[in-house]
Amino acid sequence: MEDLSGHFLISTPQMPDPRFQEQVILLCAHNKEGAMGVVINRPNEEISMMEVLLSTHIPLPEGPLPPVYNGGPVEMEAGFILYSSDYEAGNSLKIAPTIYLSRESKLLEKISKGEGPEDYMFLLGYAGWGPGQLESELMDNSWLTVPGDMNVLFHTPDELKWKQAARRYGINISIFSDIVGNA
């Protein structure tokens, strides 16, 4: 089994679960025990970054704040920070050479002071799969896997990420057929 950590899962038009239609997930961990990832293109309409910072007594930074993202349907009260490797934080999971994941509130404090990573996303919840579950969904053509891309992750508007993640590898996902594959 190939470790797909650091890859995007792009839902195909064959995705049967409506919660994941037109979604892009960054896989954070993938092994024989299952997989874990976060949805990177679904901003949360019900909570703002300002509310998150104020609720944790972290001072608000100057300038505009990014959205909070719905990272997935599992543990939706759990906060995660996906960030670029230009900043080193303790207790982080290295997803790829340029991408880390953390649950440390101290990282949010550093971000609010302008001392954190250049690029970051704050997410609530995650997507998880048990042993063999993701592989089964891949065989059913529910997902397309492509290498993760920093530009798509941090610098592409959310409404374009689904198509752009696939387009970077020459795939028009909106007309994706029943052929499964990896780029």
pLDDT at 178: 47
Amino acid in the structure at residue 49: M
pLDDT at 26: 98
Cβ burial of 165 (10 Å; 0-12, 13-18, 19+) is buried
* C-alpha 14 chain-centroid distance: 21
Kindly report the pTM of this predicted structure: 0.91
Q: Give the percent of the chain with pLDDT over 70.
A: 95
The β-bridge partners of 128 are 36
Which band of pLDDT confidence, cut at 50, 70 and 90, is reported for residue 88? confident
Residue 80 reports pLDDT greater than 90: yes
pLDDT tens sequence across 19-41 = 899 999 999 999 999 999 999 99
SS (H, E, C) the chain: CCCCCCEEEEECCCCCCHHHCCCEEEEEEEECCEEEEEECCCECCCCCHHHHHHHCCCCCCCCCCCCEEECCCEEEEEEEEEEECCCCCCCEEEEECCEEEECCHHHHHHHHCCCCCCCEEEEEEEEEECCCHHHHHHHCCCEEEEECCHHHHHHCCHHHHHHHHHHCCCCCHHHCCCCCCEC
pLDDT at 136: 93
pLDDT tens sequence across 99-147 = 999 999 899 999 999 899 999 999 999 999 999 999 999 998 899 999 9
- Mean pLDDT score of the chain: 91
As a whole number of angstroms, the distance between CA 29 and CA 70 comes to 18
Alpha-carbon separation of residue 18 from 73, 81, 116, 160, 161 (angstroms): 12, 25, 35, 18, 18
Which band of pLDDT confidence, cut at 50, 70 and 90, is reported for residue 174? confident
Residue 17 reports pLDDT greater than 70: yes
**CATH number for the domain running over 7-175:** 3.40.1740.10
Domain ranges of the chain: 7-175
